[in-house]
Structure 1
Amino acid sequence: MTIPPAIAWAAGVIAVLVAAMPVTRERLTRFAELTGLDVTTADAGRIVAHFARLRRRRLVAVLCAVPVTGLTGDPFYLVVGWCAAALLSRPQAGPPIYRTSWLLGLTCAVAAGGYLLATDGVTSTRLAHAAVAAVAAVVALAVSLRFPAASDGTATGLAIGHWSARSLYLSGAAIALSAAFLTPAREPVPERSASATTSYATERAAFTDVKKLAAPTCPFADDTDVPCRAWLVNGDPFPQAATYLIVEGAPPRRAPFARSHDRKAAVYLDRYDRRMMYHHEAELRALTGPLTDGEVPEPTFVRQSRYVALTHDGARIIDTGTWTTLSVPDADHVHDLNGSGFVVSTASEVRVLDHRGRVRMTRPLRKDDAYHLRPDGDRLVVVNGQRVDTYDPSTGRRLSRVTAGFTGDAFLDAAVGWAGDRLLVRDAYSGRLYRLDLGTGEVRRR
């Protein structure tokens, strides 16, 4: 791993300050507790001299390591500087657990280093780490085998020798493990738009009916199978449709893909030229010019495939029969549209407009309301659950409020159209269609 230069220098300064701290009474107490030694006044001077000598060596080593750490941003060299002093001591043979810990640390470091070299390749930094760790291992082995300290036979001498052996082996293990795990981070892969053109698909698919539609599931994985990176139309990849939109400061979201209620047409963002496209069997027509990901509108089909509404900072309603367009600047959603006008909503209200864009009626926007405009434009029906309200758009007055008169397990699922002056509704239980009388709430099988 690498760290920012400011943090590397700050860590080096802290290490120097800690290494320069004098030997304290607490250090002697900890030494006595860990070794089980009863320290006398005569022994205290010898113990203090040992730790003072170790402190001087560590301070020199850390001072040498700080510039290297600061310039490279690699904390491994700070670990080496801190542990190097213990490698230069002359220990006696300590408990076997210390040597076992060192050998275990070396084994783990070799295994981890070999895995990283095999998966990520050889780098100059990894080679430098390996060389330093190898030198530290050789020094530790040489010190422990060839230069054992002669014991004076006293308890203090044995305690100091064992303490030195402990420090030697643990420091060697720390250097080896740091060499393996404090490796530089991999260079980040440049982020790219998931909806950008890729080389795996340059053909354009066609359809007669959009019977099944499945969204992509892997926006950034270039090495996976094609189907998870494309919209699926009737189970086959539809490569010309963009998959994801990337906008700065926001998480990726799927690019729009809408199909008409009769499943004969679709509107989607073209992957290659970045236009919103209307696709109806063999007919292909651009609805917009080239767009950035932040400008892409949300398409909605209204009244089968005759009208398409594109909403983004306002709405554009396109008649696919005549290819005329009407713009509603502050509309957020188009609810219904027919030959007499259309129903749109803004952030706070619902509006009934004629085809010239003139407002005929407004009412507050309420959650879960569904709006349906009668083909002649004389009635607006608002459905919420089982309640059905009818309004006169010319005056804004409510004419009636009824509850759908279903019996038994049947209940109103949604309004799907008109049958003369009656609202055509669907039963949620059976899926059957009924005609609903707006004055009485009576329902009759179609």
Structure 2
Amino acid sequence: MKQERRLVTELPGPASRALAARRKAAVSGAVSVGNEVYIERGEGAILVDADGNQHIDFGAGIAVASVGHAAPAVVAAVAEQAARFEHTCFMVTPYDGYVEVCEQLNRLTPGDHAKRTALFNSGAEAVENAVKVARAYTGRKAVVAFDHAYHGRTNMTMALTAKVQPYKDGFGPFAPEVYRVPMAYPYRWPTGPERCAEEAFAEFASRVHVQVGEQHVAAVIVEPIQGEGGFIVPAPGFLKMVADWCTEHGVVFIADEVQTGFCRTGDWFASSHEGVVPDVVTTAKALGGGMPLAAVTGRAEIMDAPVVGGLGGTYGGNPVSCAAALAAISTMESEDLAGRALRVGEQVTARLATLAQVYPQIGEVRGRGAMLAMELVVPDGSKRPDAALAKAVVAGCARRGVVMLSCGTYGNVIRMLPPLVIEASLVEDAMDVLGEALAEALG
């Protein structure tokens, strides 16, 4: 497939509109859809809809398709494994693919200490199990999470997630013993970015001491770059201070790398940018190369703490997903996708910086590697979020054949997560479209 944007109908086209009508009649209305084009196939960074339109994918299924859609090595591995067997349940009759994925995660995650891994199905499931492991290891109950956090949609992970709409509204009560503290959010820190790290850490340590007690905390969980909350890159040094505090007080430091992991930020894991070695790392999304797979990897003594049989699940570490993961990891290494993420980031950042010079509505451009965003605000010096503008820009991109995503606690951030194999020409085209959509939305 030629890697180019190509529109042959209006968007959405007639076939997609027909499928949307079927969806409305068959699918729960609680399942949202951000773009009403229905996809039939994909390759690389291109998605082809039911009407034959070719879209540039700047979402990668929310950071899943990092090795590209229909990556040849992944497709071959999935087909070969499916032809042998699709499922036995690792807890009933184990198989080598599960073991090999665990070996690779133990090798790749930060730190040279002895590690163990357990496999699951989704990022939320991985986070939930990481909390279980931390509680079993420490004998403590409390878990500390941050403002703007997103950790999933299960009961425990909804408790950890900061944003009510749409993730928590009407679904409580939530799991207890979860405490929230401020995030070191440089753009919105009251005294400015220069003092953000030190002041945010001081507030973190004070609140935990007063409201929880260090001796009661099992784990602190944090996204090294917050995803759904707005692609917030913590102030430099903040994560290291929190990690050191955890070590001092015998608290398990959990890095939620579900969205940031596997080369997305220009390194295998975003924790490494801050020189942080987490006690436990949760992964999913890009790990499976498009197939559902998640993992919890951590220090051996922590991961071995739960009772035998305390971790597991029917589908966790499905053999087809494991085969896909091994092929995806091999592709990431052989094609240096961490390096490619840095190059994509440089290209996108340069274009966003140019737009920011023209449009004061772009309050900040931020991110690392190919995990980038721009925060849109009312240009009156107040930094008031402009969610309506973000929504209009995303819709304008969609009408032109570029899949773009929004996010943020206030709904005013446009995030960019292209497949790491994307060609430079597609990046340029997508940035042109973004500029057109922004100009159109501003009239």
TM-score band, normalised by the shorter chain? under 0.3
Which of the two has greater helix per residue?
2
Q: TM-score, normalised to structure 2's length?
A: 0.21
Larger Rg: 1
Q: TM-score, normalised to structure 1's length?
A: 0.21
Higher relative contact order (CA 8 A, sep 6+): 2
Which of the two has greater strand per residue?
1
